């Protein structure tokens, strides 16, 4: 059984980076969460209510915004900053015997920017576990629109370093995540 951490209790300092793994065209560094003597091998975060700014079904992205009075996304932004710093310090170790690009600028794709977060939808957004006050519904641009408010449960897998066919790090990486469940809040 996996446990989720409410964003209000999420502490970026509790994220632990595990041993890097090699896959075709990517290296990944999984995340774990350690709070006192409790260790979670999966990092699952329950976000607070966020306003839908845009939905790009083609790119499979959901753009959300925090209300002006809330600052809870700053916890994820600090986590993102911590990972970016770790990437700068450890990229040579993580790519091991692979080659590094000659120049690396902005190696981490940002998914949190201030009061905005970009979440990636699954390969088939209609298969997303999506609920409203009427129960489970099918996710589409008709059932969720800009201006709606949602809560998301997001699994944060780890850091993905994108590799070329020649096993050279492209200098690009991102925090891998996916939406486990999405709840449309009542109007």
pLDDT tens digit sequence for 110-131: 999 989 999 999 888 888 999 9
- Dihedral of alpha carbons 149, 151, 157, 158, sign: positive
pLDDT given for residue 98 in this prediction: 62
Cβ distance 14 to 80 under 8 Å?
no
pLDDT given for residue 105 in this prediction: 62
Q: Give one DSSP letter per residue of the chain, joined into a string.
A: ----EETTT--GGGEEE---EEETTEEEEEEEEEETTEEESSEEEE---EEEEEEETTTTEEEEE--TT--THHHHHHHHHHHHHHHHHHHHHHHTTSBPPS--SS-EE-SEETTEEEEEPPSSGGGS-EEETTEEE--STTTS-TT-EEEEEEEEEEEEEEE-TTSBEEEEEEEEEEEEEEEEPP-
Give 20's pLDDT tier (boundaries 50, 70, 90).
Answer: confident
Condensed to tens digits (0 to 9), the pLDDT of residues 145-170 reads 999 999 999 999 999 988 878 777 88
pLDDT given for residue 114 in this prediction: 86
Condensed to tens digits (0 to 9), the pLDDT of residues 54-95 reads 999 899 999 999 987 888 999 999 999 999 988 888 777 777
* Residues comprising the chain, all counted: 187
Q: How far apart are CA 21 and CA 113, in angstroms?
A: 28
Average pLDDT over residues 36-52: 93
Q: Give the chain's mean pLDDT.
A: 88
Q: Please, which residues have CB within 8 angstroms of residue 117's CB and are 6 or more apart in sequence?
A: 47, 50, 63, 64, 65, 66, 73, 76, 111
- Nearest-CA neighbor of 7 among 53, 60, 70, 83? 70
Please report how many Cα atoms fall inside a 13 Å half-sphere around the Cα of residue 32, on the Cβ side: 12
- Look up the domain containing 28 and give its range: 5-184
Condensed to tens digits (0 to 9), the pLDDT of residues 172-187 reads 889 999 999 999 996 5
How many domains is the chain built from? 1
């Amino acid at each position: 059984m996996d446990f989720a951490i409410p964003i209000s209790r999420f502490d970026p300092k509790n994220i632990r980076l595990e041993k890097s793994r090699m896959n075709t065209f990517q290296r990944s560094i999984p995340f774990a969460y350690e709070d006192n003597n409790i260790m979670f091998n999966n990092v699952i975060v329950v976000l607070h209510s966020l306003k839908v700014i845009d939905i790009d079904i083609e790119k499979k992205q959901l753009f959300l915004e925090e209300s002006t009075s809330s600052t809870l996304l700053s916890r994820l932004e600090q986590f993102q900053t911590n990972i970016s710093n770790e990437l700068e310090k450890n990229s040579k170790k993580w790519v091991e015997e692979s080659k590094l690009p000659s120049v690396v600028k902005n190696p981490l794709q940002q998914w949190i920017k201030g009061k905005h977060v970009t979440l990636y939808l699954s390969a088939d957004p209609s298969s997303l576990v999506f609920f409203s006050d009427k129960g489970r519904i099918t996710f589409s641009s008709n059932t969720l629109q800009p201006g709606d408010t949602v809560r998301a449960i997001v699994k944060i897998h780890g850091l993905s370093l994108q590799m070329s066919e020649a096993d050279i790090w492209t200098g690009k990486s991102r925090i891998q995540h996916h939406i486990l469940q999405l709840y449309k809040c009542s109007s």
